[in-house]
Amino acid sequence: MRVNGDVGHSGVRMLIGELSERTGVSRRLLRYYEEQGLLESARSANGYRVYDPGAVRTVRQIRALLDMGLTTDVIASVLPCARNGVDEPLDLELCPSLVSTIRRELAALDSRIDELRRHRGALSEQLSGG
């Protein structure tokens, strides 16, 4: 269904259903991304959400950042640094805020890994009769 002559797949605006189909992301998640301030839509005269063609790229960037283990709060701060890569689904501009965010996230991951290793060692020791 097109809204007010909008032509979704050809490059103008699309409804949430088409964005969902083009990205493989459910309508529910697309609405959630909007609630989190990660994705923008406009409203047509009849109240339907309509998205610009760039929304496909934005959703793909959000998914790639989520796959890296980032939270939506962190993604909101780094999404302005994201851009389409030539050979990659996501290429990030290393703006200063992104560099500090990545370093902070890596430090947190390292800390969690260390804690998990300690837990694993304690459990393993119990099995070996320690």
pLDDT one-digit tens code per residue, 6-29? 444 445 789 999 999 999 999 999
Identify the CA nearest to 29 among candidates 19, 42, 43.
19
**Where residue 87 falls among pLDDT bands split at 50, 70, 90?**
very low
Same domain for 46 and 71? yes
DSSP 90: -
Return the SS3 of 95: coil
**Where residue 1 falls among pLDDT bands split at 50, 70, 90?**
very low
CATH of the domain at 55: 1.10.1660.10
Same domain for 5 and 22? yes
Same domain for 38 and 62? yes
Same domain for 50 and 85? yes
Same domain for 122 and 58? no
Range of the domain at 99: 94-130
Q: Could you tell me which residue, 120 or 70, shows the higher pLDDT?
A: 120
pLDDT at 35: 95
Same domain for 27 and 67? yes
How many distinct structural domains can be found in the chain?
Answer: 2
Same domain for 45 and 88? yes
Same domain for 89 and 100? no
**Where residue 95 falls among pLDDT bands split at 50, 70, 90?**
confident
Residue 4 has pLDDT above 70, yes or no: no
- 127: Cβ contacts below 8 Å, ≥ 6 apart: none
Residue 117 has pLDDT above 80, yes or no: yes
The rounded distance, in Å, linking the Cα atoms of 77 and 70 is: 11
Residues 52-76, mean pLDDT to the nearest whole number = 90
The rounded distance, in Å, linking the Cα atoms of 17 and 122 is: 50
Same domain for 62 and 111? no
pTM score > 0.85 for this model? no
